[in-house]
Amino acid sequence: TSSLPEQWESHSFDQIYDHYECKAQAEDKSKPIPSLAQWLFLRKQYKEFVDDTITFDDPIPPTMGYSYDESHNTPPFYAKLDPERGRGLYASRNIKRLEVVHHWSGHDVTFPDAYAFRQFVYSLPKRMACDVVDWAWSRKISGDNGPEVICLSINIASLMNSGDGPGEVNVSINSSTSDSFFATRNIGKDEEILTHFVRT
């Protein structure tokens, strides 16, 4: 493991991104979909550096998503590496307009503060650290006036891409406190699932 950079405790997303030189990796369309071992390593590091009481006991492996419902069905998407677009999520069946495609769940993790997030990221190898900086998002978890927390899906849901414009986006959320992504139109089987992300 490399030594921690100076003043790492106060690094912003952009400073972490620059420290690990993540730009090249972000633009690399050939980077592979994480293996089961890599997802499990991320979970191990989260348990070690952030919350040692957490239990990852979902019967659905992170390579297939998470338990979409109480019957432990998988969500209606799968991960695929496209030679032109890179990693992404694709519909595993036809999805109807307004159907919930993905929801934040008990299987997503949160960070109590930015320090915990930095400590976690700097515990990771470079490629994983760049992925996590790309995948993490912030959201309010207790109403519009509540604090924002940093969240992370340690499963293939993190591979959902952002559409280039309103015409490409087919999945959206209602608000910054919403738990669910719903289909904004009918989505055909094997079509890429695209949303609109805003980094705050």
pLDDT for the residue 198: 54
- What DSSP assignment string belongs to 79-136? EEEETTTEEEEEESS-B-TT-EEEE--TTEEEESSHHHHHHHHTTS-HHHHHHHHHH-
Q: What is the pLDDT of residue 170?
A: 93
Mean pLDDT, the chain, integer: 87
123-174 pLDDT, tens digit each:
999 999 999 999 998 876 666 666 788 899 999 999 999 887 767 899 988 7
How many Å is the Cα radius of gyration of the chain? 17
Q: Is the pLDDT of residue 16 over 90?
A: no
Task: Extract the tokens encoding 35.
Answer: 């293996």
Q: Give pLDDT, residue 18.
A: 83
Beta bridge partners, 110, equal: 151
pLDDT for the residue numbered 166: 67
- Measured distance CA(122)–CA(182) in Å, rounded: 34
Q: Which tens digit of pLDDT belongs to each residue from 41-64?
A: 999 999 999 999 999 999 999 999
Given a cut of 80, is residue 122 above it in pLDDT? yes
Beta-strand runs (E) in the chain: 77-82, 86-91, 100-103, 108-111, 137-140, 148-153, 161-162, 171-172, 180-183, 194-195
Q: Is the CB of residue 122 less than 8 Å from the CB of residue 8? A: yes
Distance CA 58, CA 171 (A): 25
pLDDT score recorded for residue 1 = 44
Render pLDDT for 85-111 as a digit per residue (tens, 0 to 9). Answer: 899 999 999 999 999 999 876 678 999
pLDDT of residue 141: 66
